[in-house]
């Protein structure tokens, strides 16, 4: 017998991912996010044996999907997506999301925006009462110092670049109003994209808490 307290975060991520795999139907064009919550989605989708065309948001996801036998395409190849499924770093009321802990938020936002349905999957630790910094940023390498100076509250994360060669940094300033901050960041030359995902992008949130799944649509 399982007790709620014995379900690990990894188990919750698997439960949310497997639940979301059940939302996918034969013939769909599916966007695949990036991260540890999406990782168990890939075998769960493959196990369903559906005819799907999948678009991966990172090399890691593409490799895993290919290894699982899923058919990959490009976003331009499929045009639009029926569904996209992805994790999040924070889920605040709205729902507003912070994404990009895995450096893939620019591609993830393109995929979410192309999808008729964008399903966010998460373990119980991701919902928060309000978003808190950092907010991942992808910056152009050209003029990087000037961009950082203008942003004032951005620090380089170091490590790998984005899948498209962008420099990854984090906004460390306040998030008093996510919509206002999103507008400000979108207006800054040199910012390719930021990890704030507006409620207009999100259709479904699936959160696993212990053995329970909460699906808000």
Kindly state the smallest distance separating residue 149's Cβ from ligand 5RP, in Å. Answer: 26
Our answer to whether residue 18 is catalytic in this structure is: no
Comparison of 87 and 190: residue with beta carbon closer to ligand 5RP: 87
Comparison of 33 and 166: residue with beta carbon closer to ligand 5RP: 33
DSSP-derived pairing of the beta strands 167-171 and 154-156: antiparallel
The CA-atom distances, in angstroms, between 71 and each of 14, 21, 33, 115 are 22, 15, 15, 17
Which runs of E-coded beta strand occur in the chain? 29-32, 53-56, 83-86, 90-92, 96-98, 118-123, 135-139, 154-156, 167-171, 191-194, 196-197, 204-209, 212-216
Kindly state the smallest distance separating residue 48's Cβ from ligand 5RP, in Å. Answer: 21
Supply φ then ψ for residue 167, to 5 degrees. -90, 130
Q: If DSSP codes are grouped into helix, strand and coil, which group holds residue 196?
A: strand
Comparison of 151 and 196: residue with beta carbon closer to ligand 5RP: 196
Kindly state the smallest distance separating residue 51's Cβ from ligand 5RP, in Å. Answer: 26
Applying CB under 6 A, which residues contact ligand 5RP? 33-37, 86-89, 99-105, 108
Catalytic, out of 10, 25, 80, 108: 108
Kindly state the smallest distance separating residue 39's Cβ from ligand 5RP, in Å. Answer: 8
Comparison of 86 and 193: residue with beta carbon closer to ligand 5RP: 86
Start-to-end CA distance of the chain, whole Å, equals 31
The sign one gets for the Cα dihedral 42, 84, 199, 132 is positive
Catalytic residue ranges: 108
């Amino acid at each position: 017998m399982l007790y709620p307290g014995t379900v690990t975060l990894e188990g919750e991520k698997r439960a949310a991912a497997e639940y979301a795999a059940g939302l996918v139907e034969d013939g769909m064009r599916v966007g695949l996010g990036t991260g540890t919550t999406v990782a168990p989605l890939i075998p769960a989708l493959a196990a369903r044996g559906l005819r799907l065309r999948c678009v991966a948001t990172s090399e890691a996801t593409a490799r895993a999907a290919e290894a699982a036998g899923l058919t990959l395409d490009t976003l331009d190849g499929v045009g639009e997506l029926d569904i996209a499924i992805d994790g999040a770093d924070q889920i605040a009321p709205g729902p507003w999301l912070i994404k990009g802990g895995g450096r893939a938020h620019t591609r993830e936002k393109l995929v979410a925006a192309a999808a008729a349905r964008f399903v966010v999957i998460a373990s119980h630790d991701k919902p928060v009462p309000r978003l808190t910094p950092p907010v991942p940023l992808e910056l152009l390498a050209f003029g990087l110092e000037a961009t950082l100076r203008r942003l004032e509250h951005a620090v380089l994360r170091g490590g790998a670049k984005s899948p498209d060669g962008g420099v990854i940094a984090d906004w460390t300033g306040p998030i008093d109003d996510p919509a206002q901050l999103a507008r400000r960041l979108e207006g800054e030359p040199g910012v390719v994209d930021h990890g704030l995902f507006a409620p207009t992008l999100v259709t479904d949130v699936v959160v696993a808490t212990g053995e329970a799944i909460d699906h808000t649509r």
